[in-house]
Chains A and B, each alone.
Chain A
Amino acid sequence: MKKLIILFLPFLMLTACVDSLDDYNVDTKRPSTAPPATLFSNALKGLADTLTSPNVNVNNYRLYVQQWTTTTYLDEPRYNVTARIIPESFWRGLYKGVISDLNEARRVINADALMGQTTKDVQLAQIEVVEVLTWAALVNTFGNIPYSEAMNPENPLPKYDDAKTIYDAILARLDVALPKLQAGGTPIGDGDLLYEGNMAQWVKFGNSLKLKLAMIIADSDPEKSKKLVAEAAPKVFTSNDDNARFPYISTPPNYNPIAQNLNSLYTSRQDFIAAETVINPMNELNDPRRLQFFTTAGDTEKYIGGKYGMLNTYSSFSHVSDLIIEPDFEGLLLDYSEVEFLLAEAVERGFIAGSAADHYKKAVTASIEYWTALDPDEKVSSTGPARAAAYLAQPNVAYATAKGTWKEKIGFQKWLALYNRGWESWVEWRRLDYPKLSPPAGGNVPAGLTIPVRMIYPIVEQTLNGANREAAAGAIGGDLATTKLWWDKF
C-alpha cells in the first residue's frame, strides 16, 4: 500500500501543476496592450523618419529631384532601385511602422469602455488625419496597394486595390474626420508630438492636408478636386507657426535621420553634396536661402554644386548645410509655404477665387522667413521679410515677369522651397512637370536612364504575395519605375 502511495504521489503533483501552467505564459517583459497615445507617438516618429531620411536604403527622392547628388556611390542617383531594398524599406516603414500602430491605437480606443464619446471622437480623428497622410504617401509612391484587406493578420495575402479607389476612400475618411477634430473631449496630448493637443492647429492641419491631396488629383479628376479645394481653402495654415513639424531631439536614436547619415559626429561617411541642378539657378537668383541650404565649397566663398549622377570629390563642392544636419533639426510633414503654393495653383486652375500672384508671393516669403528664422547665425529675424522682398523684386522671381507658364513659375519656386523635402518635391515635380530635369548621361553612364515616376513594388512581395502583386502590376500597366500613376497625366 505504501508503495502504491509513493507511486502515485508524483501524479498528484502533476495535476496540481497543469492548471497553473497558464500563468507561465504571460510575458513579464513586454506588455500585451499599450496605451493608444504611445502607439500614436511611435507612429508619428515612424512617418517622420521614413519621409525625412536621406538613407540610400530608404529614401532617395532628394536625388531624384536633383537637390543633392552623391560623391562615390552612383547606383542611387542613377535610379537603381534593385541593388538595395529601397521599395521594401519605404513600404515596410509605412505599413508596419505607422499604419499598424495607428490601427492598434484605434482598436484600443474603440474598446475602451471608460472613455467618453467626445474624447473617443477627437482622438480617433487625430489618428485618422495621420493615417490618411500615410495612406496617401503609399498610394502616391506605388500606385495600387493593399488597402481594404490590409492590416488583417488572418489574411496573409491581401489583394491590391485600385489606387484611385483607395484615394477616394481616404479623402472620404478625411472629410468624416475633420469635423470630429472639434468634437470637444480630451485629445491625445502628450503623445501628440506635432501639436501637443492643440485642436485649432489640427483643424488647419487636416484642411491643409485635404487641400494638398485634392490638388494632386487636379489633372485627373478636376471636378472633385475643385469641390474639395474650395471646401478646404479657407481653413488652411495661415503662418509658419502652423507647420506640421516633427520635433527631433538631439540624442540618438531619436535624432534626425539626416544627422545620422551626414553629421560627422555620428558618421564618417561623406556621401552627399549639393547638385549643381539646384545651386546654379539659386546662384543666378542670389537666393538668400543658400546660406541655410548649403555650405560654401571648399576654401572658396562660393556655392558650387556637383554634377548630378557623376563622381564628385567631396571637398570641392558645397555640402548640405550645418543647420540641416543638426540632430535636432525638425522634420516637416506639411508646411505653410507649400500650402500657399497650392492656393496659388488653385487660383490658376480656377478652383478658387483670389490672386495667384499674391499667394505666390506669400509662399516664397514664407519659405525665406522660415529658413531665416531657423538659422542660428541670423541675429535679426526681421531680416526674413526684407530678404524675401528683395528676392521677389527680381524680374526672374516676381510672378508677373518670371519665365514660363504658371506651372513653370510655381513648379520652379516650389521646388526650391521644398529643398530637403525630397519625397514631397518628387510628387510635385511629377504633377507640375517643372523644373525640367534630365537624367545623367555621357561618360560611363548607362544609356536610357529615366527619372522614376513611381517606385516599384518591393521585390519581396513577389514571394510573399506573388499572385496579387502580379495582378496589380498588370492593372497599372507594368510594375516599372516608368509607369505613371493615375493622376500623373502630363
Chain B
Amino acid sequence: MKSLLLAFAFGVLLCPAHTIAQSREITGKVMAATDSSWLPGVSVRIAGSQSGTLTNENGEFRINARQGQTLLFSFVGFLNQSIKVPASGHVNVKLDQDELSLNEVVITAGGLTAQRRELGSQSTTLKSQELTQGKPTSVAASLAGRVPGLLVMGVSSGINPAFRLVLRGNRSLTGNNQALVIIDNMISTSDILANINPEDIDDIQVLNGAGAAALYGSDASNGALIVTTKKGKSGKTEIRVSHTATIEKVSFLPQLQSGFGSGTTPDDVPTYTPYENQQFGPAFDGSMVNIGKPLQDGSIQTVPYSAKNSREDFWKTGLTNQTDLSISSGDEKSTYYLSAQYTNQHSTIPYEAFKRYSVRANSSRHIYKNLTASFNTNFVATRSDMSNATATAYQNLLMSPSQVDVTQYKDWQNNPFGNPNGYFNEYAPNPYFSLANNRALARYDYFQGNMELKWNPIKPLSFLYRVGVTTKNYSGKSRIGKFTYSDYTKSISGSSKTDIPGNVSDFIGFNTQLVNDFIAEFKTNLTQHLSFSSALGTTFRENGNKLVFVAGTGLVINDLYNIGNSLSNPAAAEENYKTRQIGVYGETRFGFKDFLYLHITGRNDWRSILSKSNRSFFYPSADISFIATDAIPALGESGFLRTLKIRGGYSKVGQVNLGNVFNLGAYSLNSTFSQGFGYPYSSGAGFGLDNKLVAADIKPEMTIGSEAGIDFEIAPLSVAGGVTFYKTNTFNQTISVLVSAATGYQSLTTNVGEVQNNGIESYLNITPVKLANGLEISLAANYTFNRNKVLSLSDQSEQLPLANDGTTARILAKVGSPFPLLQTTRYNRDPEGRIIVDPVTGYPATNGTFYDVGITNPPHILGVNGTIKFRKLRFNVLFEYRNGHYIYNSISTGYDFSGAGLRTAWYNRDRFVIPNSSYKNADGQYVANTNITVRSGGADFWTDATRNRSIGENYANSAGFWKLREASLRYDLPASLLSKTSFIHGITVSAQGRNLFVWVPKSNLYTDPEYSQNGVDSNAVGFTNLAQTPPARYFGGTLSFTF
C-alpha cells in the first residue's frame, strides 16, 4: 500500500515536471575524433547536477535529461565537451585528443598510470612515428638525440649493432649502468629491445631518474625505458602491409696514405719488397712491379706501382629488406593486435648476413563487467652469420700495400693468387680468406609473453595479477677451416705461412626469467579537493641461465665442422646459474585541487645472491609536483603562459652489483676452486684456489638522488620546454680492489667508493609556423649536461683500473676525476712543454707514465630535430652533437706499424724535425730544436714502439662529433585518390636515411667515436680497435599499404 502511494506520489511529481520540461532518455555514442574508435568509460554528466553515467563498452550512453540542459562529456586524455541536449534525443559526440601535455597519461610503474601533471620527475615520451620514421632494424638507434638525459652509443658495427643506453651518467664503477628495459610491464633485457619489431611499438616512455622508477626494483636505479606495444583499438580494424629496402655504405674511412708501397727497410733508401705487408717502401712512381713471390709454375703478378682504392672498395654495399604485416582490430569486448616481420640484412662486411623473424599477438578482453584479461606474446628468431676474425681481416686489409687491388682476390678458392698459397703478402693473409675461413653462426630465439588479469570489484579498488615469462634460447657454432699449405709454399715462405689446424666449437644455452606481480590499487577522492590513490604490490622473480660449450681443435677432414672430427680431446664446459628476488612495494599519491601532488614510494627487496644477513634492503622515494598556472590563475591570464609546472623529487635506490649479466651474480660469495684448463694431468686433477675473494658482508650499492625542474608551455609559437637539475650520489660501490698476490688472492670485492653525478636535462619545442593551409614547421631541441666525479675509492688506492691497452693507454676511475677517465703515455717534455728529443738521433721518447686525457663519456649532448609538414607530406631531420670527451684508438699496429696510416706520410718519409721539440745541450739546458732531424723518417721511426707506437697521445683524440642522425620524407597518398578502390584506406611512400653525415674534429683520423671495443655491458668506454669496422650510412625507401 505504501509503495503504491509512493509510486503515485512520484507520478504526481513527475507529471508537473513533464509539463514544464520533459525529461527523457537521451542516447548517443562517444567516439575519438582522430580515428572514430568508440570510447568506453567516458563520463557523461548533466551540468549543474551530480547525476551522470558512463559510456558502455560500445561507447554508448543513456541518460535522462531535459531540454535546455547541457551534457558534459569528459574522459582522461581528451578535451571536455559540453553539448546541449538535442531535440532528437540522440547525439554522437566526437572528443578531441587533449594536446595539453599535462593531462597526458603516462605509465608510472608496474602498469599503474597517472597523468603527467602528477609526476614529480623528468620523463619523456616518444611516439611510434618518431621511432619508426628512420626505419632502423633496432629501435634503440632511433632514440639517439631525442631524449634529454639519455646517451645512446652504437658500440659496434656490422649486422645488428649493439647499443648502450645510459641515463644521467655512469653511477656504478663496475656494475651495470644501463637503463632498465621494460616491455609491456615486464622487465626485459637490452638484447630483446634490440630485436623487437620497431613497428610493434606504440610508445616508449623514458623515466630518467631512479625516483621515477623506484617501483620497478633495484634494477631500475639506472632509470627505465618503458616500452608499450600496440594493443588494437575497439571499433577500428586496420590491416597494414609494408616493405622497406635500405642500402648501407661505409661513410667514414680511416685516413690512409697513398704515396708509398711495399717495403720495410729502416734506412734512408727504402727498397721495394714485393711480398711485404709493411708499406715503408719507395714512393709510388707508376712503373710496373712484381708483387708476391712466384707460384710454383713461375707465374707472378705485375701491377703498376701506384695507389688504388681497394682498401676502401673492400667494404661492400649492404642491403636490408624488411617486410611487415600487422592487423589491429577490436570490438566492444576485446581488442587484438597481430603482427609479423621479416628482416634480412647484409652489412658492409663481406659474407655477413642476418635474418630476423618476429611474430606478435596482443589481445585483451573484458570477460565480465569488471574483469579484464589480456595477454601479450612476442616471439623473435634471429639467425646471424658473422666472422670472429673481423679485426684480423681489417688489420690484414691495412697490411695490404695500396698498389695491390685486394678486391681481385675475392675468389680465394679458385684464383691462384687469391689462394693463401699464392697470395702476394707473406705476413698478412688474404682478408677475404680470413673472413671466409672463420665463421660464427648463431641462433638466438627470444620469447616474451605475459598474461594479466585485472579485477575492478568496486570503483575505487582494483586488483591486478600478472605473470610473465621471458626466455632466450640460443645455440651456435664457430669454426675455423683447416688449411694446409702446399710443400712449395712452405719451402719458399718458411714459417710465415703456417698450417691452420682448424677448429670447431658449439654452444647451446638458455636464459629464463619468470615474474609474478600482484598489485592492489585504490583510487578515491577523500574530499572534494583532495584526491588519494595508493597501490600495494609484491613481485616475485626468478632467473636461470645455462650454457654448455664444447670445442675441439685440429680437424681431420676438411669442411666437416663437427666436434667428432677433431684430433684432440674436446674441451667442454657447463655453467648454470639461478637467482631469485622478491620485492614488496607501496606507493601513495595525494592530489590537492589538481595542482599540487605529493607522491611517496617505498620498496623492500630480498635478493638470493647476497648473504642471509644482508639480503634485505629498503629504499624510499618522494616527489612533488606543483602546477603553478592552475594554482595561480593570474599567471595564465595574460595568455602568454599556458602552463607552468614546478617539480622536485628525492629517491634512494639500491643496486646489487655482483657478477655480470651472464652469471647474474649467483654464488659469488663463495671462494671456489677451479681446475686448470687441460686437466686431468696424466693421472689426476689439479685444482687451484680462485683469484677473487668476495667480502662476505657485501651490500648493494646505494644511489641517493635528488632532482628539481620546471616544465612550461607558452602560447605564442606553441613553445614547450623544461629544464631539470639533478644530483646523484652512489656509495658502497662494489669494486674489486687488487690485493698483493702475497695474500693468496689477487683481488678482493668489497663495498667501498663513492661516485657523484650532477647535471642538467633540458628541452625546448617550438612550432614557429602553423598555417591554415596545412603548412607546419616545428623544431625541437634537447640539451644534456652531465658532470661525473669519483669522490672516493678504497683506503689503499686512489685508482681503480677498468681496462688497459698494453702499457700505452688505460681507462680507470680516479678519485677527484670523472670516470671513465682515459690516460695515455705521452712524449717526454721539457718544462716549457716541448718534446724532448735525443740530440744525436733526433728521436723522442716516453717514460711510460700515464697522463690524464679526459673523460670518455660525453658531458655535452645536444639533439636538434626539425619537422616540416604540409598536408600529406612530412619531412623530418635530426642532428646530434656530442663533445667534451675523448677516445683512444688501439690501432697502432694496423696503422703505423703497417705504414698504411696517413701519419706515417706527413713528412713524405723524409727525415724531419719533430715540431715543437727541444734537446738538452751540454750545459743541461733545454734548447729549442730547429735542426736535428730524426735519424730515419721511415720504418725505423714510425714502427718503433718507444719512438712512436707506445706513445698513446698519438692515437687519442677528441671524440666530439656532429651527426646527421636521421632524415625522412614521407608522403601519404590523398584519400581522394584512394577512394576509387574500396579496400585500400591508405598508401604511404617514404624515403629515409640514418647516420648520413658525420663531422669530426681534424684530430680524428680513424673512426666513429661512438664505438667501444669492450661492448655494451662494459663501463670501460673509450677504446676502439679494428674489430669495429668503418661505420655505415643507411638510406632507403618504404612503401606501405593500409587496408
Q: B547: shortest Cβ distance to chain A, in Å?
A: 10
18 pairs from A and B in contact (CB 8 Å cutoff)? A6-B463, A24-B579, A28-B576, A30-B673, A30-B690, A31-B672, A31-B673, A31-B687, A39-B687, A41-B684, A95-B741, A96-B744, A156-B748, A158-B743, A190-B683, A270-B495, A464-B739, A464-B796
Q: Are A30 and B674 in contact (CB under 8 A)?
A: yes
Q: Are B678 and A252 in contact (CB under 8 A)?
A: yes
Q: Is A308 an interface residue (CB 8 A)?
A: no
Interface residues of B, Cβ cutoff 8 Å to A: 457, 461, 463, 495-496, 498, 516, 518, 520, 536, 538, 540, 568-569, 574-576, 578-580, 582, 584, 606, 608-609, 611-612, 615, 666-667, 669-679, 681-691, 693, 737-746, 748, 796-797, 799, 807, 848
| B748 surroundings in chain A (CB, below 8 A) | 153, 156
Q: CA–CA, A37 to B606, complex, Å?
A: 40
Complex interface: stretch among A12-20, A210-218, A231-239, A405-413: A12-20
Nearest first, the 5 closest Cβ-Cβ pairs linking A and B are: A27-B667, A42-B686, A100-B744, A30-B672, A34-B687
Other-chain residue from A97, A153, A247, A464 in contact with B688 (beta carbon distance below 8 A): A97
Residue of A37, A38, A104, A190 with most chain B CB atoms under a 10 A cut-off:
A38
Q: Is A155 an interface residue (CB 8 A)?
A: yes
Other-chain residue from A153, A249, A270 in contact with B693 (beta carbon distance below 8 A): A153
Q: A27: shortest Cβ distance to chain B, in Å?
A: 3
| A327 surroundings in chain B (CB, below 8 A) | none
Q: CA–CA, A395 to B344, complex, Å?
A: 83
Q: CA–CA, A29 to B672, complex, Å?
A: 9
Given A45-B676, A156-B739, A463-B796: A38 and B686 within 8 A (CB)?
Answer: yes
| B742 surroundings in chain A (CB, below 8 A) | 91, 95, 145-146, 149-151, 158, 465
Q: Is A490 an interface residue (CB 8 A)?
A: no
Q: Are A264 and B495 in contact (CB under 8 A)?
A: yes
Other-chain residue from B569, B684, B738, B740 in contact with A38 (beta carbon distance below 8 A): B684
Having A83-B807, A100-B688, one finds 11 other A-B pairs with CB under 8 Å, namely A27-B672, A29-B667, A30-B674, A35-B687, A43-B688, A95-B744, A100-B689, A146-B740, A149-B742, A153-B739, A268-B496
Other-chain residue from B538, B540, B580, B671 in contact with A32 (beta carbon distance below 8 A): B671
Within 8 A of B (CB), among A415-467: 460-461, 463-466
Q: A260: shortest Cβ distance to chain B, in Å?
A: 12
Within 8 A of B (CB), among A1-56: 3, 6-7, 9-11, 13-14, 17-18, 21-22, 24-35, 37-39, 41-43, 45-46
Q: Are B687 and A42 in contact (CB under 8 A)?
A: yes
Given A268-B495, A464-B796: A253 and B579 within 8 A (CB)?
Answer: no
Q: CA–CA, A157 to B742, complex, Å?
A: 9
Q: Is A254 an interface residue (CB 8 A)?
A: yes
| A29 surroundings in chain B (CB, below 8 A) | 574-576, 667
Other-chain residue from B498, B568, B666, B744 in contact with A264 (beta carbon distance below 8 A): B498
Q: A329: shortest Cβ distance to chain B, in Å?
A: 15
A-B contact count, CB below 8 Å? Answer: 199
Q: Is A251 an interface residue (CB 8 A)?
A: yes
Other-chain residue from A3, A26, A28, A150 in contact with B743 (beta carbon distance below 8 A): A150
Q: CA–CA, A270 to B495, complex, Å?
A: 9
| B540 surroundings in chain A (CB, below 8 A) | 10, 13-14, 17
Q: CA–CA, A244 to B654, complex, Å?
A: 55
| A6 surroundings in chain B (CB, below 8 A) | 463
Q: CA–CA, A461 to B743, complex, Å?
A: 12
Q: Is A349 an interface residue (CB 8 A)?
A: no
| A3 surroundings in chain B (CB, below 8 A) | 457, 461, 463
Given A3-B457, A18-B606, A464-B740: A27 and B520 within 8 A (CB)?
Answer: no
Q: Are A104 and B689 in contact (CB under 8 A)?
A: yes
Interface residues of A, Cβ cutoff 8 Å to B: 3, 6-7, 9-11, 13-14, 17-18, 21-22, 24-35, 37-39, 41-43, 45-46, 82-83, 88, 91-92, 95-97, 99-101, 103-104, 145-146, 149-153, 155-158, 190-191, 193, 247, 249, 251-254, 264, 268, 270, 460-461, 463-466
Q: Are A14 and B582 in contact (CB under 8 A)?
A: yes
Q: CA–CA, A24 to B664, complex, Å?
A: 12
Other-chain residue from B463, B669, B673, B848 in contact with A33 (beta carbon distance below 8 A): B673
Q: CA–CA, A21 to B609, complex, Å?
A: 8
Q: A165: shortest Cβ distance to chain B, in Å?
A: 16
Other-chain residue from B498, B516, B580, B740 in contact with A461 (beta carbon distance below 8 A): B740
| B612 surroundings in chain A (CB, below 8 A) | 21-22
Closest-by-CB residue of B relative to A315 is B494
Given A32-B672, A155-B743, A251-B568: A26 and B667 within 8 A (CB)?
Answer: yes
Other-chain residue from B679, B690, B693, B797 in contact with A464 (beta carbon distance below 8 A): B797
| B685 surroundings in chain A (CB, below 8 A) | 35, 38, 41
| A101 surroundings in chain B (CB, below 8 A) | 687-689
Given A25-B608, A30-B690: A153 and B740 within 8 A (CB)?
Answer: no
Closest-by-CB residue of B relative to A85 is B807
| B737 surroundings in chain A (CB, below 8 A) | 156
| B520 surroundings in chain A (CB, below 8 A) | 7
Q: A1: shortest Cβ distance to chain B, in Å?
A: 12
Q: Are A41 and B686 in contact (CB under 8 A)?
A: yes
Closest-by-CB residue of A relative to B427 is A268
| B848 surroundings in chain A (CB, below 8 A) | 82-83
Q: Are A156 and B796 in contact (CB under 8 A)?
A: yes
Q: CA–CA, A21 to B608, complex, Å?
A: 5
Q: A345: shortest Cβ distance to chain B, in Å?
A: 32
Q: Are B681 and A193 in contact (CB under 8 A)?
A: yes
| B498 surroundings in chain A (CB, below 8 A) | 264, 268
Q: Are A152 and B606 in contact (CB under 8 A)?
A: no
| B807 surroundings in chain A (CB, below 8 A) | 83
| B609 surroundings in chain A (CB, below 8 A) | 24-25
Q: B280: shortest Cβ distance to chain A, in Å?
A: 16
Residue of A9, A27, A33 with most chain B CB atoms under a 10 A cut-off:
A27
Q: CA–CA, A149 to B611, complex, Å?
A: 28
Closest-by-CB residue of B relative to A463 is B797
Closest-by-CB residue of A relative to B579 is A24
Q: CA–CA, A82 to B744, complex, Å?
A: 24
Q: CA–CA, A103 to B612, complex, Å?
A: 29
Q: CA–CA, A100 to B742, complex, Å?
A: 9
Q: A125: shortest Cβ distance to chain B, in Å?
A: 19
| A466 surroundings in chain B (CB, below 8 A) | 796
Q: Are B670 and A151 in contact (CB under 8 A)?
A: no
| A268 surroundings in chain B (CB, below 8 A) | 495-496, 498
| B674 surroundings in chain A (CB, below 8 A) | 30
| B578 surroundings in chain A (CB, below 8 A) | 24
Q: CA–CA, A193 to B743, complex, Å?
A: 26
Given A96-B691, A97-B688, A463-B796: A24 and B666 within 8 A (CB)?
Answer: yes
Closest-by-CB residue of B relative to A97 is B688
Q: Are B582 and A151 in contact (CB under 8 A)?
A: no
Q: Are B796 and A24 in contact (CB under 8 A)?
A: no
Residue of B669, B673, B688 with most chain A CB atoms under a 10 A cut-off:
B688
Q: Are B670 and A25 in contact (CB under 8 A)?
A: yes
Q: Are A191 and B667 in contact (CB under 8 A)?
A: no
Q: Are A156 and B538 in contact (CB under 8 A)?
A: no
Q: B839: shortest Cβ distance to chain A, in Å?
A: 14
Q: A44: shortest Cβ distance to chain B, in Å?
A: 8
Q: CA–CA, A152 to B740, complex, Å?
A: 11
Q: CA–CA, A34 to B686, complex, Å?
A: 9
Q: Are B797 and A151 in contact (CB under 8 A)?
A: no
Closest-by-CB residue of B relative to A31 is B673
Q: B849: shortest Cβ distance to chain A, in Å?
A: 11
Q: CA–CA, A11 to B737, complex, Å?
A: 39
| A35 surroundings in chain B (CB, below 8 A) | 685, 687
Q: Are B682 and A193 in contact (CB under 8 A)?
A: yes
Given A25-B609, A100-B744: A37 and B495 within 8 A (CB)?
Answer: no
Q: A414: shortest Cβ distance to chain B, in Å?
A: 31
Q: CA–CA, A28 to B683, complex, Å?
A: 24
Residue of B575, B576, B676 with most chain A CB atoms under a 10 A cut-off:
B676
| A27 surroundings in chain B (CB, below 8 A) | 666-667, 670, 672
Q: CA–CA, A91 to B606, complex, Å?
A: 41
